[in-house]
Amino acid sequence: MADSTLFAFDVDGTLIGSRDGRVVWQLLNQHFGSDPEEDGKLWRAYIAGEITYAQWVDLDVGRWQKAHATRAQLVEVIARDLFPVPGALETLRTLKQRGARLAVISGTLDLTLEIHFPESPFDRVFTNLIWFDAAGQIAGWEATAYDMDGKALALGKLAEEAGLPLSRTVYVGDNINDIEAMGAAGFSVAFEPKDPSVSEAASVTIEGDMRRLLELPELVI
């Protein structure tokens, strides 16, 4: 099934892990001196609809910019404290070799993929973007239009671009913001799910090593 199939992946907690479960936003916020309690308030404000996703991203990255964060500092944190989950690189390489189309639909930073997936195996990427000036200072950023419920919209857009029905899509994620995309995909995988509702929404759950995706009989890979 890999041939002529679109595999779309979440990143934080799915393709990328950390030693203590923190994602890139938490790591960078705390590195640049944010208050975890304040971060929690912003998350709750977003969930309550009091601020948009783009405003939430603006608040976080804007604080890094005010702290004079440099590209080198962001790279140091991301390279040191995050890593591809076991089997991720091999799984992506194998899927690509077998003719699958690969995509990312994630609220991560594009810099995370640049650092940890330098082979750039993805045909299409939807993430938050950040760019820097000649001195390495944060010059600007752009929030992804496709997080939370928007992930399902992105999956539909990717399938249309590839000329594939949604039945030929596989979505792999780990958290509640992946549930809508899981429901839209022809087949969905909860990898190390962070909430029971994620497993309930997925076609199947796998733990430990991403290469188990290659062994799923339903995918006939």
- What are the tens digits of pLDDT across the range 167-206? 999 999 999 999 999 999 999 999 999 999 999 999 999 9
For the chain, give every domain's residue range.
6-20+84-215, 24-81
Architecture, CATH, for domain 6-20+84-215:
3-Layer(aba) Sandwich (3.40)
Q: pTM for the full model?
A: 0.94
Q: Please say if the pLDDT value at position 67 is more than 50.
A: yes
pLDDT reported for residue 221 = 47
- What are the tens digits of pLDDT across the range 115-174? 999 988 999 999 999 999 999 999 999 999 998 779 999 999 999 999 999 999 999 999
- DSSP-H helix ranges across the chain: 24-31, 36-47, 53-66, 71-81, 88-97, 110-116, 150-162, 179-184, 196-201
pLDDT reported for residue 3 = 61
pLDDT reported for residue 173 = 97
Q: Please say if the pLDDT value at position 86 is more than 80.
A: yes
Phi first, then psi: give them for residue 123, nearest 5 degrees.
-80, -30
